[in-house]
Structure 1
């Protein structure tokens, strides 16, 4: 695996029209509030109502949902995963800045953050989670990949040890394949997810101009080098629209927007070689 180490990056690679996908008439849509502590926001009339003569709510498919996950920008070129973790914890009303910094020190998180590190961070805060991946450990095939090469030798043993100790530490890790339907079902319940993507491939439909950053430069400093084949980056999933085939996500490279891309582009970016299809499901009932 390439344990999904990710550093900050990225905006869209192409210029597209700034259109926001809206639910069409007749679609069941919902906008959820900031998590358990703040209560849920509005839902459409009749959503979750019990069927006539039934004591239990009748499940209804939500075709469009956008969760109110706060946007928090990363501070450095390497901490996109930590910024995503802060978004999630604030959404759950679990974020305390002093405690967060203390957790980083206790878990000995450095400038090389892997998905398994974020799973341990969620466990530290008592957040219910499930880390799904295609590789339980470090994929040795990534040793020669430019994105991983610099830290590979020093990180391989550390990351493999985290995987080996995960069960004993009550960090939930599972080798499995996740579908778009799985992700949509998860989001429809008000839950969120941190996903590792290849930022070179991820294209936001709402960002009107291309923005390019290099993970090896301070955030905000433009990079004029040739685009690499793989650039690991963490994002937070916060919604979808089935009618338009869209996925909503918070990109920690920005501080002022929720991004949107097509399901096909999202799938291309999250299943790219280098990601191990890592996805960290976060549950609100923590």
Structure 2
């Protein structure tokens, strides 16, 4: 098992290595990884009252089915300037038969498409585009963080020893995501990178052992394999004090 210092490699030039102090928050259920990531981002930007966060969830009517567009509206609610990048404007019908989406797909399709349709009027910036690793590095270098939707079944942690490195995404009491060939959507927070090694530093809300996660700060992502559905790149507001 490698330490984060070992993964960092030799000394680098300024801008080649970034680690942002994003707090680690563990998700409570199998479905709330996106909400846990949102809390990490908001607390990175400034103080966040739990009751204020819960009130926002009720106002936005966020339930157990959380889509990336929901997180964009949540960031807008708290006054966070952000950019939501996606390859599909609306619900991608190609995911209808994926087990991860099947249960809520029909009931959620209308709601999610409506959120996309109203985004501009609600001042939620949505762009149809792809995002490269270089784009993400430039974003992180400016002190910004990124909430990214990934397929957890194809990720591995470079800090964990095998076979745990392929199974550290499952919360305690849940089966390992990597044991299923189906798509398993999961939100993580990108918080830094090492250009020399190609590693991406990230906070994983589904980490089964929070104490171990805190011992080395965050996980490392050697090969960023992002979902084709979306990337969400929150930006700190110009004036953090003006945030609601």
What TM-score does the superposition give when structure 2 sets the normalisation length? 0.87
Among 84, 92, 101, the alignment partner of 1:131 is 84
Match of 2:233 in 1: 281
Contact 1:249 1:260 in 2 (8 A): yes
Q: Which runs of no fewer than 5 residues in structure 2 stay unpaired?
A: 239-244
- CA distance in structure 1 between the partners assigned to 2:141 and 2:38 by the alignment: 20
- Once the two structures are TM-superposed, the CA of residue 23 in structure 1 deviates from its matched residue by 4.7
Which has a greater percent of helix?
A: 2
Match of 2:95 in 1: 142
- CA distance in structure 2 between the partners assigned to 1:124 and 1:134 by the alignment: 24
Match of 2:116 in 1: 163
RMSD (CA atoms): 1.9
- CA distance in structure 1 between the partners assigned to 2:122 and 2:176 by the alignment: 43
- Once the two structures are TM-superposed, the CA of residue 245 in structure 1 deviates from its matched residue by 1.1
- Once the two structures are TM-superposed, the CA of residue 94 in structure 1 deviates from its matched residue by 4.4
Match of 1:93 in 2: 46
**Corresponding position: 1:220 with 2:172:** yes
Contact 2:157 2:168 in 1 (8 A): no
CA distance change for structure 1 residues 133 and 150 in 2, over 3 Å: closer, same or farther? same
Q: Secondary structure at the match of 1:121?
A: helix
- Once the two structures are TM-superposed, the CA of residue 28 in structure 1 deviates from its matched residue by 2.3
- Structure (1 or 2) with the larger CA radius of gyration: 1
What TM-score does the superposition give when structure 1 sets the normalisation length? 0.75
Q: How many residues align?
A: 226
Match of 2:2 in 1: 18
Residues 71-110 of structure 1: per-residue CA shift (max 9 Å, x gap): 0000111100000000000000042211100000000000
- Once the two structures are TM-superposed, the CA of residue 285 in structure 1 deviates from its matched residue by 3.2
Among 30, 55, 61, the alignment partner of 1:108 is 61
